[in-house]
């Protein structure tokens, strides 16, 4: 089926969605999109096995949007994700695809964001809800989220939810949704608990298995730059200036309009650049490729489809100015260099939120992609001076300069000038359009990653910069204090079947605390202790309600005056230092 689908129009999507796809540069559906969209449009349940980076977000978002009734301002689709970062990405994707659907509203719900903001947004109504299990459960229990009009439920990265200990919460949510709902489950792997959920909660699902394209590109050096602290255009021009062995480059962007805009900006900076996109006639396309081959053009700015089949030996670099939507596109892109055993270089611009795709690309190419920093103004100047010196040496070796020697000697005698003065003035004139000392802003250098903690010392936490919330709020993420880790008590233990992995996953996801900053965890029968940075009140309040094994953590500082917990001898109970408050059973 997927072999015959070469356009989104063939998938019977509404015109509004086709227009949005054209705006973002989608030209042909990926295998998972071609396979899943018809099934979901038909209202069938789906069990999809697919890695991150195969384009699965569009595979479920597009049919969900196609089936919405915008006049009904109640949640008609619910997407569950394991992390807040993924929830934000999926919500942004829905918003992007619904660009031409006036009145559409998607709402991300996740821990760590103000409940007041979320309650206010829910009261205004939303067509699609994207959220993490814990926060969705909170709203269902509060009755602030109604799923009476729910048509479709999507479980995204179900195996990650299993790994992080959320699978029981997912089942609880499933039990609180209408029995008539359509259910789509996506997972990179299919462990038995995931298959059990599919068997229990899905109705005769269509099974789709898509493997991400894998390739070993040993002749291509792959690097990435985290796109922050500087303009991408400035970063691109700096990199092209200082790259060793640069001959020609293909710069990939997502949209046809972007090819023209970026090519014009590069030309304005003195670079020989041209656009290549699907709107160009075959004659113009061939003209651009011929100029690239003969050396009159150094940079081609292209979309994925327009660049297919280009085989120009002098293409030394591929620049992913916009990160591709899936790993297959990345592999096709970088294949434009390093051909026939030649060496090549691929550079990927990655926004902070796009680092999940970076990991997927590393998996697909079976190579670790190395980070690079942005060249400084001094490095750009050194490169220009070295090139200028090389031009002078080549001119001295290849040209007859007798006439010019006479001109310089006459200036020395008539104007009483030293040769050095004349040479400096000539150097200035020769480089006026491209100064040897460019006026470039300084680029902040990101701090190095924290060093590993020496044995016997408690890990420290570096202060994190605050970032804005996604859903329009002006509240910034809390900053955690520097210093030693503190010991906290949580009300889940061995009797509930809790594991350290599940505790780490819950705290990291809902509290926004990187796993490497979570210290020792000690499990006891009725409770556990965990070492964390000192938590500000809002994070503490969030983690109090965060659940593991359907039980709130009820986190609080551990009583430092009490003797440290000791593991009991085998087959004997553990002494309790605090009697936990009785837990109310969850509402059925």
Report pLDDT for 442.
Answer: 54
DSSP-based three-state secondary structure for 345? strand
1 has pLDDT over 50: no
Render the burial of 141-167: b for 16+ CB within 10 Å, e for the rest: eeeebebeebbbbbbbbbbbbbbbbbb
Whether 40 shows a pLDDT value over 90: the answer reads yes
Distance CA 197, CA 193 (A): 6
pLDDT at 569 over 80: no
Looking at the chain, the domain(s) classified CATH 3.40.50.300 span 2-210, 220-375
Across the chain, mean pLDDT equals 81
CA distance 76 to 150: 4
Gyration radius of the chain's alpha carbons: 29
109/485: higher pLDDT: 109
Q: What is the pLDDT of residue 238?
A: 83
* Structure-model confidence comparison of residues 243 and 318, the more confident one: 318
User: For residue 131, which phi and psi values (nearest 5 degrees)?
Assistant: -160, 170
Torsion of CA 534, 536, 542, 547, to 10 degrees: 10
pLDDT tens for 417-452 read 888 888 888 888 887 777 777 666 555 444 333 333
Q: Which helix (H) or strand (E) holds 344?
A: strand 344-350
Specify the higher pLDDT residue, 281 or 65: 65
Confidence at residue 560, expressed as pLDDT on a 0 to 100 scale: 45
pLDDT of residue 283: 81
- Give, in order, the Cα–Cα distances in Å from 117 to each of 112, 134, 285, 536: 11, 17, 50, 19
Q: Say which residue the tokens 């079947």 belong to.
A: 497
- The pLDDT of residue 4: 61
The span from the first CA to the last CA of the chain, in angstroms, equals: 43
For 207, 247, 310, 533, the CA distances from 318, given in Å and listed in that order, are 36, 11, 12, 42
The pLDDT of residue 22 is 86
Q: Is the pLDDT of residue 343 over 50?
A: yes
pLDDT of residue 575: 34
Q: Which pLDDT value is given to residue 182?
A: 96
Most confident among 127-131, 159-163, 290-294, 462-466 (mean pLDDT): 127-131
- Yes or no: say if 327 and 361 are a contact pair by the CB < 8 Å rule: yes
Q: Is the pLDDT of residue 342 over 90?
A: no
Q: Is the pLDDT of residue 584 over 50?
A: no
- Residue 479 CB coordination number (10 Å): 12
pLDDT of 505 reads 81
| Closest C-alpha among 380, 175, 425, 105 to residue 269 | 380
Confidence check: pLDDT of 571 > 60: no
Across 101-115, 188-202, 455-469, least confident range: 455-469
Q: Alpha-carbon torsion 542, 546, 552, 555, what sign?
A: negative
Q: Rounded to 5 degrees, what angle do the CA atoms 204, 210, 215 make?
A: 170
Question: Is there a contact between 169 and 137 (Cβ–Cβ < 8 Å)?
Answer: yes
Q: From residue 181, how far is each of 37, 227, 442 by CA, in Å?
A: 17, 40, 55
Which CATH superfamily, name and number, covers 2-210? P-loop containing nucleotide triphosphate hydrolases (3.40.50.300)
Q: How many CB atoms lie within 10 A of CB 493?
A: 22
Residue 535's nearest CA partner among 559, 560, 552, 518 is 518
Highest average pLDDT, of 22-31, 53-62, 196-205, 276-285, comes from 196-205
pLDDT computed for residue 572 by the predictor: 33
- Answer for the pair 106, 96: CB distance below 8 angstroms, yes or no: no
List pLDDT tens digits, range 80-92.
998 887 888 899 9
Q: How confident is the model at residue 563 (pLDDT cuts 50, 70, 90)?
A: very low
- Select 220-375's CATH number: 3.40.50.720, 1.20.1260.10, 3.10.50.40, 3.40.50.300: 3.40.50.300
Contact 62, 223 (CB under 8 A): no
Residues 234-267 pLDDT 10s: 889 888 888 878 899 999 998 888 899 999 999 9
What percent of the chain stands above pLDDT 90? 35
Q: Which two tokens stand for residue 531?
A: 């070492």
Least confident of 113-117, 274-278, 309-313, 501-505: 309-313
Residue range 516-542, pLDDT digits in tens: 678 888 888 888 999 888 888 878 888
Q: 322 near 252, Cβ under 8 Å?
A: yes
> Which of 129-138, 152-161, 497-506 shows the lowest mean pLDDT across its residues?
497-506
Residue 565 has pLDDT above 50, yes or no: no
Per-residue pLDDT tens over the stretch 177-207: 999 999 999 988 888 889 999 999 999 999 9
pLDDT of residue 453: 33
Q: Residue 41: which pLDDT band, with cuts at 50, 70 and 90?
A: very high
pLDDT of residue 214: 56
The 3-state secondary structure of 251-309, one letter per residue: EECCCHHHHHHHHHHHHHCCCCEEEECCCCCHHHHHHHHHHHHHCCCCEEEECCCCCCC
SS3 readout for 519-569: CCEEECCCCEEEEECCCCHHHHHHHHHCEECCEECCCEECCCCCCCCCCCC
Is the pLDDT confidence value at 464 over 70?
Answer: no
To the nearest 10°, report the CA torsion of 463, 469, 474, 478. -30
pLDDT band at 313 (very low <50, low <70, confident <90, very high): confident
DSSP three-state, residue 338: coil
In sequence order, the β-bridge partners of residue 211 are none
The answer to whether the beta carbons of residues 55 and 32 sit under 8 Å apart is yes
Among the listed residues 37, 88, 92, 93, the one whose alpha carbon sits nearest the alpha carbon of residue 67: 37
Task: Say which residue, 439 or 366, is predicted with more confidence.
Answer: 366
pLDDT tens readout for residues 386-423? 777 888 888 888 888 888 888 888 888 888 888 888 88
Looking at per-residue pLDDT, the higher value among 463 and 35 belongs to 35
Average pLDDT over residues 43-58: 86
Question: So what's the architecture of 450-588 in CATH?
Answer: 2-Layer Sandwich (3.30)
Which residue is associated with the tokens 């439920």?
Answer: 153
In the chain, residues under CATH classification 3.30.70.330 are 450-588
DSSP assignment letter at 28: S
Residue 48 pairs in a beta bridge with: 186, 208
122/325: higher pLDDT = 122
């Amino acid at each position: 089926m997927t072999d015959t689908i070469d356009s989104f129009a063939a998938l019977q999507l509404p015109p509004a969605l086709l227009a949005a796809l054209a705006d973002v540069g989608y030209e042909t559906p990926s295998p998972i999109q071609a396979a899943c969209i018809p099934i979901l449009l038909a209202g069938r349940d789906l069990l999809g096995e697919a890695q991150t980076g195969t384009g699965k977000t569009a595979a479920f978002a597009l049919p969900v949007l196609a089936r919405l009734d915008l006049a009904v301002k109640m949640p008609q689709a619910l997407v569950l994700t394991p992390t807040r970062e993924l929830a934000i990405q999926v919500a942004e994707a829905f918003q992007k695809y619904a660009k031409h659907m006036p009145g559409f509203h998607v709402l991300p719900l996740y821990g760590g964001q103000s409940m007041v903001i979320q309650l206010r947004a829910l009261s205004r109504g939303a067509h699609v809800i994207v959220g993490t299990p814990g926060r969705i459960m909170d709203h269902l229990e509060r009755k602030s989220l109604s799923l009476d009009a729910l048509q479709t439920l999507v479980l995204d990265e179900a195996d990650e939810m299993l790994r992080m200990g959320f699978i029981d919460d997912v089942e609880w949510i499933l039990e609180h949704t209408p029995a008539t709902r359509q259910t789509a489950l996506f997972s990179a792997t299919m462990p038995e608990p995931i298959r059990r959920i599919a068997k229990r909660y899905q109705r005769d699902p269509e099974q789709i298995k898509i493997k991400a394209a894998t390739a070993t590109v040993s002749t291509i050096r792959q690097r990435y730059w985290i796109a922050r602290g500087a303009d991408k255009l400035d970063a691109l021009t700096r990199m092209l200036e200082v790259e060793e062995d640069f001959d020609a480059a293909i710069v990939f962007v997502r949209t046809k309009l972007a090819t023209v805009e970026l090519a014009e900006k590069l030309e304005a900076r003195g670079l020989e650049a041209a656009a290549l996109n699907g709107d160009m006639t075959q004659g113009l396309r061939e003209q651009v490729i011929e100029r690239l081959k003969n050396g009159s053009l150094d940079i081609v700015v292209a979309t994925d489809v327009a660049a297919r089949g280009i085989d120009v030996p002098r293409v030394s670099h591929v620049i992913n100015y916009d990160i591709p939507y899936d790993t297959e596109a990345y592999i096709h892109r970088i294949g434009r260099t390093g051909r026939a055993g030649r060496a090549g270089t691929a550079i990927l611009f990655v926004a902070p939120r796009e680092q999940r795709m970076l990991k997927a690309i590393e998996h697909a190419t079976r190579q670790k992609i190395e980070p690079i920093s942005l060249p400084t103004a001094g490095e750009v100047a050194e490169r220009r001076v070295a090139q200028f010196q090389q031009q002078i040496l080549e001119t001295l070796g290849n040209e007859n300069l007798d006439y010019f020697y006479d001109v310089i000697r006459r200036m020395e005698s008539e104007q009483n000038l030293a040769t050095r003065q004349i040479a400096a003035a000539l150097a200035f004139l020769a480089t006026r359009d491209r100064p040897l000392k460019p006026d470039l802003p300084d680029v902040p250098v990101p701090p190095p990653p924290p060093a590993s903690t020496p044995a016997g010392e408690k890990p420290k936490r570096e202060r994190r910069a605050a970032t804005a919330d996604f859903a329009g709020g002006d509240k910034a993420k809390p900053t955690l204090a520097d210093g030693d880790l503190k010991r906290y008590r949580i009300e889940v233990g061995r009797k509930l079947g809790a594991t350290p992995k599940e505790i780490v996953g819950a705290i990291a996801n809902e509290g926004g605390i990187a796993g490497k900053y979570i210290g020792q965890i000690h499990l006891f029968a009725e409770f556990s202790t965990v070492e964390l940075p000192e938590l500000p009140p809002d994070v503490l309040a969030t983690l109090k309600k965060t659940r593991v094994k359907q039980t709130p953590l009820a986190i609080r500082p551990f009583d430092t005056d009490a003797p440290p917990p000791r593991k009991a001898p085998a087959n004997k109970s553990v002494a309790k230092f605090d009697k936990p408050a009785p837990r109310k059973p969850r509402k059925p």
